[in-house]
Structure 1
Amino acid sequence: MATRSQARGVVIQLLYAYGSGNDKIEDFIEEVLQEQKIKNTQKQFAMNLFFGAIKYLREIDLRITHQLKEWDFSRVGEMEKAILRLGVYEIVYTLTDKAIVINEALEIAKNFCNDNSTKFVNGVLDGICKNLQMPLEEIEKNICPKD
């Protein structure tokens, strides 16, 4: 039986495909999960994560962008974006313990990225946790100030 960690790993791959321009990946999610042997409760868990992250993608990306110091969101690698998007979704929109979310994201980053990316993911997710109470409107004003 697949674990939640394995389900998250597949969700990261789906978010990577989605972020890379394959927005039709949604049509194949059932097949991908079956191929990766993600079944039953873990399948539902993975589907909830994927579709939740897609639903709140704009808000998630705003929160990520807000944490980037002297770095443009468009320069963040697609794999790092996928990991961050899942992490931010879980931190902001689920009841999963934040330490578990960050630890899971770091383990996935270690498998798919380099050491610098792992540190980057850790820093961004830690910042998200610290600024969790900041309203999206305020974040948006900070990112796109009106003259």
Structure 2
Amino acid sequence: MATRTQARESVIGLLYAYDLGNEGIAKFVDEILEDKKIRNQQKEFALKIFNGTVDNLESIDKEIISHLTQRTLEDIGSVEKSILRLAVYEILFEDLPKAIIINEAIELSKRLASDGAPKFVNGLLDKIIKA
């Protein structure tokens, strides 16, 4: 059975594709999750956080932008941006412990993103929860 971490990793891939201009990816979410063996409760969780992130993208991006000091949203790599968008969605709209959300985002950025991403993700999310 898939874990929530695996569900989040799949959602980051979906958000990455969405960010690169593949808005039609939303039509294939069920199939993609099934291919990655994300099923049952974890599939419901993945669908909820993917759809929630896409539906609230404007307010999520505004939150991220308001805490950037030396970069613009366009300067952030697509993988890092996808990780941040998912984490900010969870911080703003889900009832989960903030420490767990941030830890998951850091671990996912270690695995999926550039070398400097974990520090950047941690710093930005820390600013957001303290605001």
Larger Rg: 1
Q: Residue 73 of structure 1 corresponds to which residue in structure 2?
A: 73
**Are residues 1:57 and 2:57 paired?**
yes
How many pairs does the alignment contain? 131
Give the Å deviation of 1:74: 0.8
Give the Å deviation of 1:8: 0.4
Q: Residue 47 of structure 1 corresponds to which residue in structure 2?
A: 47
**Are residues 1:33 and 2:62 paired?**
no
Q: Residue 84 of structure 2 corresponds to which residue in structure 1?
A: 84
Determine the C-alpha separation between the residues in 2 that align with 1:84 and 1:51.
15
Alignment of 1:123-138 (within 5 A): 123-131=123-131
- Could you list the runs of 5+ residues in structure 1 that have no partner in the other structure? 132-147
Give the Å deviation of 1:113: 1.3
Determine the C-alpha separation between the residues in 2 that align with 1:114 and 1:27.
29
Determine the C-alpha separation between the residues in 2 that align with 1:103 and 1:115.
16
- Could you list the runs of 5+ residues in structure 2 that have no partner in the other structure? none
Determine the C-alpha separation between the residues in 1 that align with 2:66 and 2:19.
19
Q: Which runs of 4+ in 1 moved over 2 A?
A: none
Equivalent AA in structure 2 for residue 31 of structure 1: E
- What is the Cα-based RMSD across aligned positions, in Å? 0.6
Give the Å deviation of 1:115: 2.7
Q: TM-score, normalised by structure 2?
A: 0.98
- Summarize deviations over 1:54-85 as a string: whole Å, max 9, x none: 01100000000111102111111100110000
Q: Which moved more, 1:3-12 or 1:110-119?
A: 110-119
- Summarize deviations over 1:86-127 as a string: whole Å, max 9, x none: 000000100011000000001100001123111101011111
Alignment of 1:78-117 (within 5 A): 78-117=78-117
Q: Residue 144 of structure 1 corresponds to which residue in structure 2?
A: none
Structure 1 vs Structure 2: percent identity of aligned residues? 49
Determine the C-alpha separation between the residues in 2 that align with 1:75 and 1:99.
26
